Amino acid sequence: MNKLVILGGAGGVGSVAARALAHGKYFDEIVLADVQADAARATAASFGVPSVTGVGVDASSPESLAGVMRGARVVLNCVGPFYRFGPPILAAAIAAKVDFVDVCDDLEPTQKMLDLDADAAKAGISALIGMGNSPGLANVFVRLCADQLLESIESVDIFHLHGGEPVEGAGVVKHRIHAMTNDIPLFLDGKFVNVRQLEASGQAVVAQTEFRGIGTFPTYPYPHPETITLPKYLPGLKRATNMGVIFPLSYFHLTQDMVRVGACTTTPIDVGGQSVIPLEFSVAHILSRRAALLAEAGITGPGGCLKVVVAGTKRGEPRTYVFSLFSKTAGAGEGTGIPAAVGAVLMSRGKITRKGVFAPEGGVDPLDVLPLAMEIAGRMGAAGGDSIHVESIDAHGVSTQVPLSF
């Protein structure tokens, strides 16, 4: 029985991954497991496919996780926040000896999960972490350059933009606040340098970035794990950065402002005799303003772009490749959920053979990932073939579009 369990299957990413796979012949059975059991069952029922079912799970309980993982070929973890749930859920998969895929985009849990590499290898399982958009497809594009397009890679700069999703939860906003209040390691000149997004160190690297098909936006340093995993798998790399932003800018700047004024701490304060946690108030306030700010900006639906700039040498001369994956109709849910679904399928098909815990650039073949991603995205209507654009820039600055063919 080729069975897939999607943890967080009723959420914004897990439900997209389920939708991506429900009507294909990828798995004999798909189980959506979520803390909200009714939502999991309703999401499963919405696909109208008997082989897709929903159940309840308590992600904080090893016993509950063991129960839903039993008999699975692959577990796809979409439960956040990953700083809380990433490592323990991976530990449960290792204990259950079930191959594992997740979409973790946090630094600290990524390192903690990489530290479980020996345990996973001893259990004989493959654990592919960070298989979303950034990280995920960004890493795959870099690996494609390393394997097919360049003789050596010197730098990787990753930029991401999204916004306008129908719903955004408190966990997403807290993740964004976490990015604004913690150290962000950038790999510069062959060594790690910590910056903070809202301090002078972070402001010094803010860049105006053109996103193909979307527009030009300021991008800010983000604590995504590519900056720590790419140097691990690409010897000789001298630079790795990750920069991002959310639109509309008014919404993103509101979050920054709440952080700047000190309204995102977790120490309770007394407000008229009531104990209030500033972070919880700020998140609620930010979300309460979201609809109005989207309307003011004229945004009526989701969109986004992932841009990856890889520089190195080809035939002894400098060469840069620029990948742009963009959509005016799909946002973070599709951008993360579709690659996650692809990772689960490749795992089930035996296309991922490395044992242990690894990032996408350390264990997947781009020529397996990209055709399947385009196939699934095209069927879902989330993106067409022309949504991926690749250009090559030679030593003289001449740019040429590179056709993708598989």
For 6-54, the DSSP string reads: EETTTSTTHHHHHHHHHTSSS-SEEEEEESSHHHHHHHHHHTT-TTEEE
As a whole number of angstroms, the distance between CA 233 and CA 213 comes to 31
Q: Between 394 and 388, name the one with better pLDDT.
A: 394
Give tens-digit pLDDT for 165-188.
888 888 889 989 989 999 999 999
- The residue-averaged pLDDT of 74-101 equals 96
Cβ distance 311 to 391 under 8 Å?
Answer: no
Share of the chain above pLDDT 90, in %: 86
As a whole number of angstroms, the distance between CA 214 and CA 164 comes to 13
Cβ distance 334 to 377 under 8 Å?
Answer: yes
67's CB contacts (< 8 A; 6+ apart) are 57
pLDDT for the residue 386: 43
For 184: left if phi > 0, alpha if psi spans -120 to 50, otherwise beta; the answer is beta
DSSP state of 73: S
Start-end of CATH 3.30.360.10 domains in the chain = 137-331+385-399
C-alpha atoms less than 13 angstroms from C-alpha of 73 in its C-beta half-sphere: 17
pLDDT for the residue 55: 98
- Chain Cα centroid distance, residue 127: 15
Start-end of CATH 3.40.50.720 domains in the chain = 3-132+332-380
User: Could you give the C-alpha distances from 88 to 94, 113, 173, in angstroms and in order?
Assistant: 10, 9, 22
Cis peptide before 302 (omega within 30 of 0): no
Q: What is the pTM of this model?
A: 0.93
As a whole number of angstroms, the distance between CA 79 and CA 82 comes to 7
pLDDT for the residue 229: 98
Cβ distance 62 to 37 under 8 Å?
Answer: no
pLDDT for the residue 382: 53
pLDDT for the residue 405: 67
pLDDT for the residue 265: 97
Give tens-digit pLDDT for 234-253.
999 999 999 999 999 999 99
pLDDT for the residue 334: 83
As a whole number of angstroms, the distance between CA 56 and CA 64 comes to 9
The pLDDT confidence band at residue 379, using thresholds 50, 70 and 90, is: confident
pLDDT for the residue 142: 98
As a whole number of angstroms, the distance between CA 319 and CA 247 comes to 31
Give tens-digit pLDDT for 47-61.
999 999 999 999 999
167-176, 191-200, 329-338: the lowest-pLDDT one? 329-338
Q: Kind of pairing, strands 317-327 and 356-358? A: unpaired
Q: What is the fold of 137-331+385-399? A: Dihydrodipicolinate Reductase; domain 2 (3.30.360)
Q: What is the fold of 3-132+332-380? A: Rossmann fold (3.40.50)
- The residue-averaged pLDDT of 344-364 equals 98
58-72, 129-143, 249-263, 377-391: the lowest-pLDDT one? 377-391
Cβ distance 346 to 364 under 8 Å?
Answer: yes
Is residue 337 within a helix (H) or strand (E), and if so which, with residue range? helix 332-348
261-265, 284-288, 302-306, 374-378: the lowest-pLDDT one? 374-378
